[in-house]
Amino acid sequence: MTAAAHPPTPAHLLAHGIGSQHDLPLSPFYAYAGAFAALFVSFLALGLLWPTSRFRGDRAGRPLPAAVQRVADAPATRNALRLVGAAAATAVLLYLLLGPDDPDHNPAPGAVYVLLWVGLVPASLLLGPVWRLLNPLRALHALLPAPRAPRPLPAGLGIRPAAAGLLLFAWLELAVPDPASTTTLLTFLAVLTATGLLGAARHGPDWFAHADPFEVYSALLARLSPLGRRADGRLVLRSPFNSLDSTPQVPGLVATVCVLLGSTAYDGFSDNPRWITTLQTSPLGPTATATLGLLAAIALVAALYGLCAGTLRLMSRELTSPLTSFAHSLLPIALGYLVAHYFTLFVTEGPRTVMMAVGTDNALAPAPPLSPGALATLQVTAIVTGHVIGVVAAHDRAVRLFPPARAVAGQLPLFALMITYTLGGIGLLIA
């Protein structure tokens, strides 16, 4: 993400999402102190000034004009977006099949790792769950014969298949030796397509909302969008806090968020010189060692959250589902990590990928738009802001679930968790 003595190549950027992050022009003391102060002041102010729940979830929102609703829901609009998604997927497939096996001259790896994976962040924040409308697998499924009697989805399925798919994608990006090769990407897309179409053939199109990793990823990010739908289906503008509060407490939500947090944290850590040396000298080999490192990062994030949830359960026996009750508060933290780690990748490699796709030879990535100091400030601000939003979301949920006398004290485990995640996230930037 920052300037390095030896700038990483585009292939390295695509393989790891970010460039070197070390030696940021930022004082560790001020970064840690500022982050702690922001969280502490937020927690204290909420405890004093926010005694009752204020968020209304999917019941909130100012309706958009009826004409906007009609255009958004029109079959022509949805079919046009479906065609756009199918055309883009076809172009990527053709580049993978017919183009050179070189990410410096083939836009397909950038389309997957930058335009899709990173680009879904701003797209979903601005427009809502856009991948549901663009998903080429939905378009392909619509062309196939519909099953006579789709089987209902298993009651406990939730979004667990999507969590597994996101873990597979993270492993592909961060542990596989050559993630930008055409063979690797074609294999992943083949697995994704077969899983999606076979599941939809058995359970109908609702399968994608539970199992497609990019669709679930986009839908979760859209929980922080000001554009959403009310419970009655009306398209509305509302506070992102209300959208966040409406996050369904489905099985697999915690696993999905932990995969997002843990894999992004590992992505930041994987560029550490000591870890690179470990990969190169490990008797297990770099792929197995990277896999273990990725799984360990996700397990650490999950263990810390599980410890927090267990403490909440001990403090209040009335809280029957602490794991899912506060999982929505982790989404803005994941968003902060994504912005901090992938901003430079998106604004440099994104345009370069587009230039390659339109036929520009030897396309060069534009210079980063921010100086190292401004970039460091953006990264720390993104992480701290995500945690402050998480503190607000958790507080509002706590005063709704806990008895008034224990509402503030009951949040102490969550506050400790937020502090731990914040310090860890900043530590990855300045280590």
**What confidence tens digit (pLDDT) does each residue in 287-313 have?**
999 999 999 999 999 999 999 988 888
* 252 close to 160: Cβ distance less than 8 angstroms: yes
CA distance readout (Å), 173 to 114, 190, 333, 351: 11, 16, 21, 20
pLDDT digits (tens, 9 = 90+) for 318-358: 777 888 899 999 999 999 999 988 998 899 899 999 989 88
pLDDT at residue 19, rounded to an integer: 37
CA–CA dist 21, 79 (Å, integer): 42
pLDDT band at residue 26 under the 50/70/90 scheme = low
- Distance (Å, rounded) from C-alpha 158 to C-alpha 154? 8
> Quick one: pLDDT band at residue 269, thresholds 50, 70, 90?
confident
Taking all residues of the chain, what is their mean pLDDT, rounded to a whole number?
88
Residue 1 pLDDT greater than 90, yes or no: no
Give the pLDDT score at 431: 64
94-103, 140-149, 184-193: which range is least confident on average? 140-149
- Alpha-carbon distance of 341 to 262, in angstroms, equals 13
Task: Give pLDDT, residue 314.
Answer: 84
Q: What is the pLDDT of residues 119-151, one digit of tens each?
A: 999 999 999 999 999 999 999 999 988 767 788
Q: Span 228-234, mean pLDDT? A: 91
Confidence (pLDDT) at 90: 96
Residue found under tokens 């999982």:
327
Q: How confident is the model at residue 25 (pLDDT cuts 50, 70, 90)?
A: low
- Report the predicted TM-score, pTM, of the whole model to 2 decimal places: 0.91
The structure tokens listed for 222 are 């859209």
**Contact between residue 40 and residue 136 where contact means Cβ atoms under 8 Å apart:** no
Q: How confident is the model over 349-397, as pLDDT tens digits?
A: 999 999 898 877 677 777 778 888 888 888 899 999 999 999 999 999 9
Question: What is the helix (H) or strand (E) element at residue 154, kind and residue range?
Answer: none
Query: Is the confidence at residue 97, as pLDDT, over 90?
Result: yes
Helix (H), strand (E) at residue 236: strand 235-237
Angle value at C-alpha 153, between 147 and 154, nearest 5 degrees? 140
Q: State residue 319 phi and psi, 5-degree precision.
A: -85, 100
Look at residue 20 in the predicted model and tell me its pLDDT.
40
- Beta-carbon count within 10 A of 216 CB: 27
- CA–CA dist 354, 374 (Å, integer): 26
Q: Give the three-state DSSP class for 402.
A: coil
Q: Place 5 in a pLDDT band, splitting at 50, 70 and 90.
A: very low
Q: Report the pLDDT value the prediction gives residue 14, as an integer from 0 to 100.
A: 56
Tokens standing for 289?
Answer: 């060692």
The residue-averaged pLDDT of 107-125 equals: 95
